[in-house]
Chain A
Amino acid sequence: MNRYFFYLILTNMLINVIIFVPKILIEYRYEGAVMGMLIAIPIGFTLACLYSKAITKFPGQGLPEIADKFFKHRWLTILHFGSIQLAVFSAGLITLVGFIDVLTRFINPEMPRLLLLSIYLIAIIFIIQLPTERVMYILEIVLFMNTPLIGFIVFKAFTSDYISWDSILEVGTHLFDRPSLKAIAAASYVFSGYANLVIFNRVIKEKLKVWNFVIIFFMGIFNLFTTFFIPIGFHGSDGAQEYLYPWISTSDSLRLVYSPIERVIFIFLLFYMSITLMSISIHWHSAFELFKGTFRKKENKKMKWIVLSAYSGCAVIAVMFLETILLNQITVYWMIARLGVEVVIVISFSLWARRQLA
């Protein structure tokens, strides 16, 4: 059991609440979301397996180091790096914009968004420049502190008196509807934490054992069904799709009578603040390191700050122009594009790795 690998996947599973996965799935609950999820599980899992198997054949090396040794074509390398970079960067960006929106909505509506964003950006920019190992350590600490408590909230949700199992089963009876591509793309996101292995393979010094994959498989299933069915249990099979953020409204529907704060929503958001921060940071760290890897020969200070300010600029523009509904629509298509890119990259890379090391 390699815990670093596990953390990467776990972060993505936790963060799908912010990145509209439940919203997209619940929207298609009568139009093939259930079947879509059942199809997405093998797809996502296979991709995760193939890629992690392939990249862990180069223990302790990220993609830039591998490229230095083996990649011949310069332009192909740039294309390869560029597409991954774009994918992970945009994943972080969507999470960031989505979460800034959540924070302004629920925590402090009077605070300007850009101020909130700048606080986040300062922390993110600080973290992504750290060496990969240290980013991993921060991730470990954050997950270590937050995951048990989020697990507790999920447990409370499952055992609540107000969860309607009949509503959940009602959505379950739409199992045989024709699956929708959007639902498949959204559902497969829970497994795609492995994408950060492009850089974070540096900290994984051994080959992954079968156990890792078994655990990830079951956790993925549990996570996906929790994500999808708990909001339906609380807000009804017909009503759940009315909520903009189904999971945040669900956390507001829980009551912890004897906790310091009765409303779970604030505890939930508090945990997610740090988890979101780390999720964005590992995505952007991967993107940043890949960028550095592309121009390894000519690395310098100026370049670094140009890239970082470009990242911040993108975030500022995105926060300024992306309204929640627009962001939601963009995310739907982004999910599909992401799945496409993932399939191409994973298959080509794993074939290449197999031939290289045969």
Chain B
Amino acid sequence: MKSAVNWSVAAIIVIGSLLLTGCGFKDIDKRLFVVSIGVDLAKNSSKKYDVHLKLAVPSGSKQQPNEFTIVSEQADSMSDAVRIIKTKVDKEIDFSHAKMILIGEELAKQKGNAGIYYWLARRRDIQLIAWVVVAKPTALDVLKVKPKSEQIPSNSLFLAMGKDGSETPYILPDFLFDFKMRLIERGLDPMLPIVEAKKELFEIKTTSLFNKNHMKLTLNPEETKALNFLLNKEQKSAIWARKGKTRFFIDTQKIRSKYKIYTPKGKPPYIKFDIKIKGIVEETSRKIPNTRLAKYEKEVEKETNKFVKNVLVKIQKSGIDPIGFGLRYRSRHFNENDWEEWQKIYPKIVFKVDTKVKITDTGLIE
């Protein structure tokens, strides 16, 4: 009797659950996966944006795996564009594999696009670990590039950003969540790598610096590298210096930098950077004797000090703060108005850079 009651209850539950209307799950062959999202300013049109979605085209054979199509639409907002793009394709658009977000350079330079940046973070299906880059000349051009070595659509960009493939000091990758955080964190401004479309490959060696709403400054490759030193992002790098007529390169194995903000009373405030570099000589135009390495180290130190300082001053002049000095200042001061104080301090702060270089050897040959 008892078990009969139990069974009947179980049966009712099972039958009852069958009555609930079916779930709306769509099979994988009825979905189109977006691999990259590109946004440009619309040209020759009354609309504001030109949105491109790069869709991976699944194919049955292994011979042509790298197939993609780009669907574009002009609209005044992202959500409008995506809704209309949905009418152009036969399958459901799925953003869960969108790992790259490209912002056209012209768009990035314009004010008032926070709506787009927030749309990306607001959507539940777009990953917060998607990379955000500035595309040059336009996002569409970068999306169209199909490098020969690429096996899956957009994969070469993923590899470049993710440091799984090439490791270089000229790329400072940034994730969507970090970009969004930097957009509103007081005292820390966004910076995005610039991807330039060349014929069959990309060039990623410059960095764009943003203030809180638009792109303000572009760093050239050398400056990008210096910023990389300061942020402790990538250890493998190279620096060059000159001593007399000898021009030589150092392949770095270790770069450590830290800074501290000093605000002495009655004296101008300053920021002191300590950079420690360890590396080997990789190339030189003349012979460097091992016994005199110390002198060459000094030269590199001088060169680096000057160079890094120039970059810091250049960034400071344009009133932006990608390294986060302001945030550091806020985090070390307990008063409520520390941010207002910092805004007065930053324009006139002085940088002092102290580099220590250690050349361990000159490679396999002296």
Chain A bound to chain B: yes
Q: Which residues of A contact B (CB under 8 A)?
A: 105-106, 108-112, 114-115, 118-119, 122, 161-162, 164, 166-170, 172-173, 175-176, 234-239, 242, 249, 252-255, 257, 262-263, 301, 305
| Chain B nearest Cβ from A70, distance in angstroms | 33
Instruction: Across the interface, name the chain B residue whose C-beta is closest to A173.
Output: B334
Instruction: Across the interface, name the chain B residue whose C-beta is closest to A121.
Output: B13
15 other A-B residue contacts (CB within 8 Å) besides A167-B185, A249-B128, A253-B177: A110-B23, A110-B24, A111-B24, A112-B20, A115-B17, A115-B21, A118-B17, A166-B328, A169-B331, A169-B332, A170-B330, A175-B334, A253-B178, A255-B162, A263-B127
Once the chains bind, are B17 and A162 in contact (CB under 8 Å)? no
- Given contact pairs A166-B328, A169-B332, A118 touches B185 in the complex (Cβ within 8 A): no
Once the chains bind, are B162 and A105 in contact (CB under 8 Å)? no
Bound-complex Cα distance A92 to B233 (A): 44
**B327 contacts A by Cβ under 8 Å:** yes
Residues of A contacting B338 with CB < 8 Å? Answer: 173
**B314 contacts A by Cβ under 8 Å:** no
Once the chains bind, are B129 and A263 in contact (CB under 8 Å)? yes
- Given contact pairs A112-B20, A263-B127, A166 touches B184 in the complex (Cβ within 8 A): no
- Given contact pairs A111-B23, A111-B25, A122 touches B13 in the complex (Cβ within 8 A): yes
**B91 contacts A by Cβ under 8 Å:** no
| Chain A nearest Cβ from B175, distance in angstroms | 7
| CB interface residues, B 105-139, toward A, < 8 Å | 124-125, 127-129
| Chain B nearest Cβ from A314, distance in angstroms | 17
- Given contact pairs A105-B124, A257-B164, A162 touches B185 in the complex (Cβ within 8 A): no
Residues of A contacting B328 with CB < 8 Å? Answer: 166
Partner of A234, one of B16, B23, B177: B177
**B188 contacts A by Cβ under 8 Å:** yes
| CB interface residues, B 287-345, toward A, < 8 Å | 324, 327-328, 330-334, 338
**B52 contacts A by Cβ under 8 Å:** no
| Chain B nearest Cβ from A129, distance in angstroms | 10
Instruction: Across the interface, name the chain A residue whose C-beta is closest to B327.
Output: A166
**22 A-B residue pairings within 8 Å (CB atoms):** A105-B124, A108-B23, A110-B24, A111-B23, A112-B21, A115-B20, A118-B16, A119-B17, A162-B175, A162-B177, A164-B181, A164-B327, A169-B332, A170-B327, A234-B177, A235-B177, A236-B184, A238-B184, A238-B186, A239-B185, A252-B129, A262-B129
Once the chains bind, are B331 and A167 in contact (CB under 8 Å)? yes
A118, A122, A234, A238 — most chain B CB neighbours (10 Å): A238
Residues of B contacting A176 with CB < 8 Å? Answer: 334
B162, B180, B181, B185 — most chain A CB neighbours (10 Å): B181
Residues of A contacting B177 with CB < 8 Å? Answer: 162, 234-235, 249, 252-253
Q: Interface readout for B142-166 with A: 1 if CB under 8 Å, 0 if not?
A: 0000000000000000000010100
Bound-complex Cα distance A119 to B18 (A): 11
| Chain B nearest Cβ from A315, distance in angstroms | 14
**B365 contacts A by Cβ under 8 Å:** no
Bound-complex Cα distance A56 to B327 (A): 49
| Chain A nearest Cβ from B12, distance in angstroms | 11
**B5 contacts A by Cβ under 8 Å:** yes
Closest 3 CB pairs of A and B: A110-B24, A169-B331, A236-B181
Partner of B26, one of A105, A110, A167, A257: A110
Bound-complex Cα distance A161 to B23 (A): 39
**B225 contacts A by Cβ under 8 Å:** no
Partner of A112, one of B23, B162, B181, B184: B23
Residues of A contacting B327 with CB < 8 Å? Answer: 164, 166-167, 170, 237
Bound-complex Cα distance A240 to B30 (A): 36
> Size of chain B's interface in residues, with CB distance under 8 A?
39
| Chain A nearest Cβ from B100, distance in angstroms | 14
Bound-complex Cα distance A262 to B99 (A): 11
Once the chains bind, are B331 and A170 in contact (CB under 8 Å)? yes
- Given contact pairs A164-B324, A167-B331, A176-B334, A301 touches B5 in the complex (Cβ within 8 A): yes
Bound-complex Cα distance A238 to B339 (A): 12
| Chain A nearest Cβ from B159, distance in angstroms | 11
Once the chains bind, are B188 and A114 in contact (CB under 8 Å)? no
Once the chains bind, are B180 and A114 in contact (CB under 8 Å)? no
**B182 contacts A by Cβ under 8 Å:** yes
Bound-complex Cα distance A253 to B164 (A): 18
Instruction: Across the interface, name the chain A residue whose C-beta is closest to B118.
Output: A242
Once the chains bind, are B124 and A106 in contact (CB under 8 Å)? yes
Residues of A contacting B175 with CB < 8 Å? Answer: 162, 253, 255
Once the chains bind, are B330 and A164 in contact (CB under 8 Å)? no
| Chain B nearest Cβ from A91, distance in angstroms | 25
Residues of A contacting B129 with CB < 8 Å? Answer: 252-255, 262-263
Q: Interface readout for B9-40 with A: 1 if CB under 8 Å, 0 if not?
A: 10001001100110111100000000000000
Residues of B contacting A161 with CB < 8 Å? Answer: 233
Instruction: Across the interface, name the chain A residue whose C-beta is closest to B176.
Output: A253
Bound-complex Cα distance A173 to B180 (A): 23
| Chain A nearest Cβ from B205, distance in angstroms | 21
| Chain A nearest Cβ from B85, distance in angstroms | 19
Residues of A contacting B183 with CB < 8 Å? Answer: 239
Residues of B contacting A255 with CB < 8 Å? Answer: 129, 162, 175
Bound-complex Cα distance A112 to B19 (A): 13
B124, B164, B233, B328 — most chain A CB neighbours (10 Å): B124
- Given contact pairs A239-B185, A249-B177, A110 touches B25 in the complex (Cβ within 8 A): yes
Once the chains bind, are B25 and A252 in contact (CB under 8 Å)? no
